């Protein structure tokens, strides 16, 4: 038996932070959010967005509530430069929004970047150079000192160009790229050198972005690195700590959440996790995770379908149907037990609507612009509770609990045979066909009900007369029968004429709708002398006739042993 080549890989070093405090912390407020959709996400597209698509996407991000938006790498291409200039020259940037621009620590790229943001009211210049051991040894073949020199030289030029511009709205962000592959003590040395060159202080903060450029460890180890850094930075008040987590291990959201617990102030990410390789941290997921804990995420995703539509159209990317909060299937339930629990939970929520507490749904779909209509979907894995929920939600038919297994088996037979999912319309058609559709052998042609109650105070008076014209297996027949109510009278008449012994075992009824001309629907279960229990249903504007029709329905479904 062959095995995978696990021996080729070295385990990631831990921090050795024995007195870590982040596991006992709780996130109580939203971070500073920074969208990198228009840079990091755009770089990862097979067909990059056009300038017009970028403008539309930028407007979407503004409408959601982002106050810091990375708009690109303007020194890298003419398109990205033109986009930055269009935003500025056409006054498309709200006064309370800062655009962020990325540049390597290289003189000509930095100067071009400042040309791109000329006249921008608020801008963040995001400088980076790679600091990891791997990049130093393999890519650049430079010493630690040489890499620090690159970072300091770039910082100095950014400071000088800001001063020359006279624009106090320009802020500075520095990333030791490949932070996860950089020795902690060395990353700290680089950041200290940058802070000194920038003149970082509580009044002139620097954003230090410590990216998980490649996700190499479990989220707890990354959190240890962030807490270590927050402890050892020489002036915490002069720094906003930012994290930018990629999703190589599939844990970018957890990495960012634990980083916040460890001291991070700011989170970079992208809608739907778009970005290079496995993508960036998904800001939608993290923001709505906060919301499910009763925390204001400071971003508005109350219309997720619209956000997804603009995203898909501009990026030409799809959203997975199981994507948390946003996928087509995340507010559905196919399992019968799940359907039943959701149905009961939704009813309970209507009685106590202040706090959301519905099984299997951590968030109210309506809060993100989705609806309840698609919550329960019916296939071969569905149960009776889900089927009942669909009929009640879509058609007002409230099948009683004792009848649900009977109709559930009707639906199950179809889904097992076809393997298809059933729509609400198809489920309603099955109900009509099974119970309402006038199946043979019995058909009621006419029925009248009259009362002759000589003593109204008596409850057991046999005073209801039913006269009925029927069609049976042997042709037409009529009968008149008395009982203590319409059902009792009709049962007496039918048992006397047909010779079939049965009685009413269960009964329920309600109106469909609330207007004066609403229909009545009755549900009945007959117990036959041979032990069979058979359900039926009837609909009529007259509740008594609806009940009698339900008896006929059950008789037509009865198969003699």
pLDDT in tens, the chain (561 residues): 668 898 899 999 999 999 999 999 999 999 999 999 999 888 889 899 999 999 999 999 999 999 999 999 999 989 999 999 999 999 999 999 999 999 999 999 999 999 999 999 999 999 999 999 999 999 999 999 999 999 999 999 999 999 999 999 999 999 999 999 999 999 999 999 999 999 999 999 999 999 999 999 999 999 999 999 999 999 999 999 999 999 999 999 999 999 999 999 999 999 999 999 999 999 999 999 999 999 999 999 999 999 999 999 999 999 999 999 999 889 888 777 787 888 889 889 999 999 999 999 999 999 999 875 545 566 656 667 778 888 988 899 999 999 999 999 999 899 888 888 888 899 999 999 999 986 679 999 999 999 876 666 666 567 789 999 999 998 999 999 999 889 999 999 999 999 999 999 999 999 997 777 789 999 999 999 999 999 999 999 999 999 999 999 999 999 864
- Boundary-marking domain end, from 415, 436, 457: 436
Q: Which two tokens stand for residue 208?
A: 């230090």
CA dist 329 and 207 (Å) reads: 39
Nearest alpha carbon to residue 496 among 509, 483, 510: 483
Nearest alpha carbon to residue 68 among 43, 106, 39: 39
Q: What range does the domain containing 310 cover?
A: 29-315
| Same domain (yes/no): 222, 371 | no
List phi, psi (to 5°) of 37: -55, -40
Asked whether the CA dihedral 228, 233, 236, 239 is positive or negative, the reply is negative
Residue whose entry in the numeric block shows the structure tokens 């996130």:
27
Please check whether residue 329 lies inside any domain of the structure.
no
| Same domain (yes/no): 60, 115 | yes
| Same domain (yes/no): 531, 413 | no
Please check whether residue 119 lies inside any domain of the structure.
yes
Please check whether residue 21 lies inside any domain of the structure.
no
Q: Are 97 and 69 in contact (CB under 8 A)?
A: yes
The whole-model pTM stands at 0.78
Q: Are 231 and 241 in contact (CB under 8 A)?
A: no
| Same domain (yes/no): 392, 244 | no
DSSP 105: S
- CATH value at residue 247: 3.20.20.70
Given this model, what pLDDT does residue 440 score?
A: 79
Number of domain units in the chain:
3
Given this model, what pLDDT does residue 376 score?
A: 59
CA 111 to chain centre: 43
The radius of gyration of the chain's CA atoms, rounded to the nearest angstrom, is: 35
Q: Residue-wise over 382-400: b if at least 16 C-beta within 10 A, else e?
A: bbbbbbbbbbebebebebb
- CATH value at residue 375: 1.10.287.1400
CA dist 236 and 483 (Å) reads: 88
CA dist 170 and 124 (Å) reads: 6
Nearest alpha carbon to residue 173 among 371, 384, 332, 32: 32
Q: Are 508 and 522 in contact (CB under 8 A)?
A: yes
Please check whether residue 15 lies inside any domain of the structure.
no
Given this model, what pLDDT does residue 374 score?
A: 47
Q: Are 271 and 284 in contact (CB under 8 A)?
A: yes
- CATH value at residue 546: 3.30.160.270
List phi, psi (to 5°) of 150: -60, -45
First to last CA, the chain: 59
* Residue 364 burial (C-beta neighbours within 10 Å; 0-12, 13-18, 19+): middle
Q: Which two tokens stand for residue 233?
A: 């930075």
CA dist 411 and 428 (Å) reads: 10
Q: Are 205 and 236 in contact (CB under 8 A)?
A: no
Given this model, what pLDDT does residue 122 score?
A: 98
């Amino acid at each position: 038996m062959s095995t995978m080549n696990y021996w080729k890989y070295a385990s990631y070093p831990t921090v050795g932070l024995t007195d870590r405090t982040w596991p006992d912390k709780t996130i109580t407020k939203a971070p500073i959010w920074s969208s990198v959709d228009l840079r990091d996400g755009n770089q990862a597209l097979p067909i990059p967005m056009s300038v017009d698509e970028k403008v539309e996407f930028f407007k979407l991000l503004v409408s959601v509530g982002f106050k810091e938006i990375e708009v690109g790498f303007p020194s890298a291409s003419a398109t990205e430069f033109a986009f930055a200039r269009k935003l500025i020259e056409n006054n498309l940037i709200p006064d309370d929004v800062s655009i962020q621009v990325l540049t390597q620590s290289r003189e000509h790229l930095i100067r071009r970047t400042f040309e791109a943001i000329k006249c921008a009211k608020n801008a963040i210049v995001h400088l980076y150079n790679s600091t990891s051991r791997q990049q130093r040894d393999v890519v650049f073949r430079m010493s630690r000192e040489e890499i620090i020199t690159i970072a300091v030289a770039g910082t100095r030029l950014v400071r000088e160009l800001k001063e020359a511009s006279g624009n106090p709205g320009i802020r500075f962000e520095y990333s030791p790229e490949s932070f996860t592959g950089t020795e902690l003590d060395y990353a700290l040395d680089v950041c200290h050198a940058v802070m000194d060159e920038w003149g970082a202080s509580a009044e002139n903060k620097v954003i230090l972005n410590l990216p998980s450029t490649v996700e190499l460890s479990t989220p707890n180890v990354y959190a240890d690195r962030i807490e270590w850094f927050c402890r050892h930075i020489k002036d915490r008040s002069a720094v906003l700590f930012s994290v930018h987590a990629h999703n190589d291990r599939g844990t970018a959201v957890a990495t960012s959440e634990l980083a916040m617990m460890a001291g991070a102030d700011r989170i970079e990410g992208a809608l739907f996790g778009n970005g290079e390789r496995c993508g960036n941290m998904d800001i939608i997921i993290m923001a709505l995770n906060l919301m499910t804990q009763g925390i204001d995420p400071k971003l508005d995703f109350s219309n997720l379908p619209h956000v997804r539509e603009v995203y898909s159209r501009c990026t030409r990317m799809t959203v997975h149907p199981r994507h948390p909060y946003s996928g087509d299937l995340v507010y559905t339930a196919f399992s019968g037990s799940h359907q039943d629990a959701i149905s009961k939970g939704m009813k309970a929520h209507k009685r106590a609507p202040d706090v959301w507490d519905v099984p299997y749904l951590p968030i109210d779909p309506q809060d993100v612009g989705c609806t309840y209509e698609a919550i329960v979907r019916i296939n071969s894995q569905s149960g009776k509770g889900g089927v009942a929920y669909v009929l009640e939600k879509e058609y007002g038919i409230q099948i009683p609990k004792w009848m649900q297994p009977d109709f559930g088996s009707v639906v199950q037979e179809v889904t097992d045979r076809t393997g298809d999912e059933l729509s609400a319309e198809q489920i309603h058609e099955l109900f009509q066909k099974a119970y309402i559709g006038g199946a043979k052998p019995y058909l009621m042609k006419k029925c009248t009900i009259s009362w002759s109650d000589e003593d109204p105070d008596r409850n057991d008076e046999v005073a209801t007369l039913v006269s009925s014209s029927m069609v049976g297996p042997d042709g037409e027949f009529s009968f008149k029968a008395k009982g203590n109510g319409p059902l009792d009278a009709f049962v007496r008449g039918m048992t006397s004429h047909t010779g079939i012994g049965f009685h009413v075992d269960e009964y329920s009824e309600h109106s469909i709708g609330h207007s004066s001309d609403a229909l009545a629907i009755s549900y009945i279960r007959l117990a036959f002398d041979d032990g069979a229990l058979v359900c039926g249903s009837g609909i009529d504007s007259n509740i008594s006739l609806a009940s009698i029709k339900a008896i006929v329905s059950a008789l037509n479904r009865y198969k003699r042993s």
